[in-house]
Amino acid sequence: MSRADDIFIQNCKQILEHGFSTENEKVRPHWEDGTPAYTIKTFGVVNRYDLSKEFPLLTLRATNWKAAIDEILWIWQKKSNNIHDLNSKIWDSWADETGSIGKAYGYQLGVKYKFKHGEMDQVDNVLWQLKNAPASRRIMTNIYNFADLTEMGLEPCAYSMTFNVTGNKLNAILNQRSQDTLAANNWNVVQYSALLMMFAQVSGLEPGELVHVISDMHIYDRHVPIIKELIERETFPAPKVRLNPEIKNFYDFTVDDFIVEDYEHGKPIGKVPIAI
């Protein structure tokens, strides 16, 4: 069993056995047919993934790691807020007729600020500090900009990263206000683990721990049967994941620079209904 499987299974059991149901609450999300999308949820989940030991890819079922990494590059590398720059359809429900998701995600990371060491955006500030001030306790990003919330197609779920260098290892904390466990848990973990690996490589560091802090981790009502079946499946050892060592500039990475070997996983779970 991989560490990702173990954490996922324990999280799901905690939610199913001890979670709070929102069935009697007034909820914003709904299903495509207009029915309210209720959840069973738990508050304040903290998961730790040691990337020096294994890459956290779920084996209970396949995670589409290429699409996940493509999205993180769309946000952090392209700093785009237009779905036409993305190679999947996952953002289509939140885009306008031009393909824009408004001032969300990549848009926020592309805004330039005046730092003591120069004017740059949040991504370039992280890269600059990792190379020039790795002992800093101020290496962080935040895309939950209250001034722009009304102009976002969807308010950011994963909204801040804090990086910390310990010895030769790069660690990070990902803060997430809300997470759809079935649709997004391992997707997000894969994305930000990949981001940490890329930042570490171009900064001359080794990947360390990703700490994932989730305020509201939930399972949607229509996902419960799928989750119950999923967590009873056979698991497999974690796959081997490495980066193309030739890449020294963050902006040169592509999905093809991730090499995934020996990825065994369970059968697909079929089409998952998504609450919007």
Domain count for the chain: 1
One of 62, 120, 154, 157 is an active-site residue; which one? Answer: 157
| Residue 175 forms part of a structural domain | yes
Tens of pLDDT, residues 205-241: 999 999 999 999 999 999 999 999 999 999 999 999 9
| Residue 74 forms part of a structural domain | yes
Q: Does the annotation flag 137 for ligand binding?
A: yes
Q: Does the annotation flag 222 for ligand binding?
A: no
Q: Interior CA angle at 189 toward 96 and 258, to 5°? A: 90
Question: Does 1 score more than 90 pLDDT?
Answer: no
CB neighbour class for 24 (10 Å; exposed up to 12, middle 13-18, buried from 19): exposed
| Residue 146 forms part of a structural domain | yes
Tens of pLDDT, residues 4-17: 999 999 999 999 99
| Residue 243 forms part of a structural domain | yes
Q: Does the annotation flag 192 for ligand binding?
A: no
| Residue 79 forms part of a structural domain | yes
Q: Please report, for the domain that includes residue 205, its CATH number.
A: 3.30.572.10
- DSSP alpha helices (H): ranges in the chain? 3-18, 65-76, 106-110, 122-132, 181-202, 224-230
The sign of the CA dihedral 57, 58, 62, 65 is negative
| Residue 203 forms part of a structural domain | yes
Domain of residue 206 covers 44-214+238-261
User: 């560490």: which residue's tokens?
Assistant: 3
| Residue 27 forms part of a structural domain | no
Q: How far is CA 105 from CA 72, 81, 83, 192, in A?
A: 10, 7, 12, 14
Query: What's the whole-number average pLDDT of the chain?
Result: 97
Q: Does the annotation flag 82 for ligand binding?
A: no
Q: Does the annotation flag 188 for ligand binding?
A: yes
Question: Does 270 score more than 90 pLDDT?
Answer: no
Q: Does the annotation flag 218 for ligand binding?
A: yes
Q: Does the annotation flag 220 for ligand binding?
A: yes
Tens of pLDDT, residues 96-117: 999 999 999 999 999 999 999 9
Residue partners of 34: CB distance under 8 A and separation at least 6: none
Tens of pLDDT, residues 116-168: 999 999 999 999 999 999 999 999 999 999 999 999 999 999 999 999 999 99
| Residue 178 forms part of a structural domain | yes
Q: Does the annotation flag 177 for ligand binding?
A: yes
Q: Does the annotation flag 144 for ligand binding?
A: no
Establish whether 157 is a catalytic residue. Answer: yes
